Amino acid sequence: MTGRESPATPESVAQPVPGPGARTPPAIVPQHAVLVLPSTAEFDSRTYRIASSLAARGHDVTVMARLAPGLPALETHPAGYRIVRVPVSAIDGLPMAEWVRSRLERAWARLRGSGRAPVAAAGGAGHAAASREPLDAAVGSRPPTTTGRVSRASGSLRRLLAIALTVRSQRRRTVAVAPPADLVHGMAYMGIPVALAVGQQRRAPVVYDARDIYLEAGNLARLPGPARRLFGRLERGWAQKADRVITVNRPYAEVMAGRFGIPEPLIVMNCAYRYEPPPTERRRRFHDILGLPAEARVVLYQGGFSLDRGIEQLVAAIGDVPGAVLVCMGYGALQPELDAIAADPARRDGELGPRVRILPAVPPAELLDWVASADVVAMPIQPTTLNHRLTTPNKLFEAMAAGVPVVASDLPGMAAIVRETGCGLLVDPASPDAIAAACRTILDAPPEERRAYGERGLAAAHERYSWETQVERLVEEYGRLTGRLW
């Protein structure tokens, strides 16, 4: 193995040669799949895994995504699928004539250039924009005031309107250019209304990939009651219109079945491809790029920089983990605050330099090579919403696939997997002291004990928690929907 992720190849999924007298198994029928994603498709691991697996099986795959500055409108991914990006904005979603929209867009651009434009909400991969509160304010709490409540309610409604208009814009633009499809796969709550429109026009079955309990996640969880009820009705309608709903774990599936009034969704877990980590002596990516001393230990947080993911608690904890550096690799609304923390002279160590380091997100095909270079992967997601309490995040499976021990929240979604596999330690995610103690326990353990955490996770990833096992469930369901083998 090369130490890289190893997507399936057409040869690896070819049908076995039958023996004498055996029935010839049905052959895969090349088909057209359209995946609709409410982001740029640069860093979405689930989309990458689905699209690369389908392309490897010989299918024609197009990912319909959003255009952003510096990205091409049409791109051929090295894994063999196309990405088509369309321009999307809230103003473009207004129900008015094109010439009015274009004038509003120009006026908006002038306001932004002058610095007088208000901050607009933006959708990520199925999520409203994260709050931009400073980290210190996020950790603490402030007594609500009447003015503050009114302001937050007004801001929430503006965000909901911006989301609705952005979705309308993407739907209009996507339907105009989407290719023919035998099946349409809609990612997240901002992708499914677009996917339903494409499926209706192309007369193709539609899959709703509900990757979170969105009503209980992010900014939607903070919306006023009437707005949340409205969104809940909308999502229920989308789920019922879809030909199949899928999600990422059983707790989510049980909640969705009750809320949407549908059969239990198909579970396709967010596991990584099977991967063979490089030898220990070659796991130097963070040391090389950050100029860390050889003895430095890396505690990695990778993923979205947003509230309630445990970043604040990790920043508070890392000072009590001798010889360790916290590397935050990703992107999101908390980037400015993290940059300021990383530059704070008070958070430096004479030997290590800054105790908090920031790196940009990397493409999914490169991610496991980076994860394998960490000493611990930390995911102290906070129990602030039902969605967080039940989550099984990508980063858990990616750490297991890379053979790296984890420090994870002792919450229902993650705890059972960590206990079953023995891949790391569980903590009270709200306690920086507990997080620091767990990191020290792993990092200071004898070498053979420290390796055993990673080896147990790697073995479980190869045997059960791999994308290769999960994708078979997905393509079987695709075949049921289209009547032809995928």
Residues 6+ apart with CB under 8 A from 471: 8, 49, 50, 53, 268
pLDDT for 386: 95
Confidence of residue 134 (pLDDT cuts 50, 70, 90): very low
Residue 128 lies inside a defined structural domain of this protein: no
Instruction: Answer yes or no: is pLDDT of 111 > 70.
Output: no
Give me the CATH number covering residue 454. 3.40.50.2000
In this structure, are 458 and 472 located in the same domain?
A: no
pLDDT for 101: 63
Instruction: Answer yes or no: is pLDDT of 434 > 90.
Output: yes
Instruction: Answer yes or no: is pLDDT of 116 > 60.
Output: no
Q: Closest by alpha carbon to 53, among 67, 74, 35? A: 35
- The 10s digit of each residue's pLDDT in 378-408 is 999 999 999 999 999 999 999 999 999 999 9
In this structure, are 45 and 166 located in the same domain?
A: yes
Instruction: Answer yes or no: is pLDDT of 115 > 90.
Output: no
Distance, in Å, from the CA atom of 239 to the CA atom of 244, rounded to the nearest integer, reads 8
Residue 389 lies inside a defined structural domain of this protein: yes
pLDDT for 24: 63
In this structure, are 224 and 289 located in the same domain?
A: no
Residues 6+ apart with CB under 8 A from 25: 15, 16, 18
Please state the domain count of the chain: 2
pLDDT for 227: 86
Q: State residue 269 phi and psi, 5-degree precision.
A: -70, 155
Mean pLDDT of the chain: 87
Please state which of the ranges 65-74, 143-152, 342-351, 354-363 shows the lowest mean pLDDT.
Answer: 143-152
In this structure, are 301 and 384 located in the same domain?
A: yes
In this structure, are 78 and 185 located in the same domain?
A: yes
- Provide the residue range defining the domain that includes 291: 280-463
Q: For residues 454-468, give the mean pLDDT.
A: 97
Q: State residue 333 phi and psi, 5-degree precision.
A: -65, -25
Strands 348-349 and 266-267: unpaired
Residue 8 lies inside a defined structural domain of this protein: no
- The 10s digit of each residue's pLDDT in 201-259 is 999 999 999 999 999 988 788 888 888 899 999 999 999 999 999 999 999 999 999 99
Residue 108 lies inside a defined structural domain of this protein: no
Residue 244 lies inside a defined structural domain of this protein: yes
In this structure, are 223 and 297 located in the same domain?
A: no
Q: For residues 418-431, give the mean pLDDT.
A: 98
Distance, in Å, from the CA atom of 29 to the CA atom of 355, rounded to the nearest integer, reads 53
Please state which of the ranges 30-44, 102-116, 432-446 shows the lowest mean pLDDT.
Answer: 102-116
What are the structure tokens assigned to 120, written together? Answer: 């607009």
In this structure, are 68 and 178 located in the same domain?
A: yes
What are the structure tokens assigned to 38, written together? Answer: 């409410």
Confidence of residue 26 (pLDDT cuts 50, 70, 90): confident
Q: Which one is predicted more confidently, 15 or 449?
A: 449
Please state which of the ranges 138-142, 308-312, 346-350, 352-356 shows the lowest mean pLDDT.
Answer: 138-142
Instruction: Answer yes or no: is pLDDT of 8 > 80.
Output: no
Distance, in Å, from the CA atom of 459 to the CA atom of 470, rounded to the nearest integer, reads 16
Strands 266-267 and 406-409: unpaired
pLDDT for 112: 61
Q: Which one is predicted more confidently, 17 or 474?
A: 474
Instruction: Answer yes or no: is pLDDT of 272 > 50.
Output: yes
In this structure, are 442 and 475 located in the same domain?
A: no
Which residue in the block uniquely carries the two structure tokens 């967010």?
270
Q: For residues 278-302, give the mean pLDDT.
A: 93
Instruction: Answer yes or no: is pLDDT of 136 > 70.
Output: no
- The 10s digit of each residue's pLDDT in 352-370 is 899 999 999 999 999 999 9
Instruction: Answer yes or no: is pLDDT of 2 > 80.
Output: no
Q: For residues 458-478, give the mean pLDDT.
A: 97
CA-only gyration radius of the chain, Å: 23
In this structure, are 202 and 63 located in the same domain?
A: yes
End-to-end CA distance of the chain: 27
In this structure, are 308 and 416 located in the same domain?
A: yes
Report whether 206 contacts 182 (CB < 8 A): no
In this structure, are 336 and 457 located in the same domain?
A: yes
Residue 473 lies inside a defined structural domain of this protein: yes
In this structure, are 170 and 259 located in the same domain?
A: yes
Residue 408 lies inside a defined structural domain of this protein: yes
Instruction: Answer yes or no: is pLDDT of 196 > 60.
Output: yes
Percent of the chain with pLDDT over 90: 74
Distance, in Å, from the CA atom of 47 to the CA atom of 351, rounded to the nearest integer, reads 41
pLDDT for 473: 97
Q: For residues 128-133, give the mean pLDDT.
A: 33
Residue 190 lies inside a defined structural domain of this protein: yes
pLDDT for 139: 34
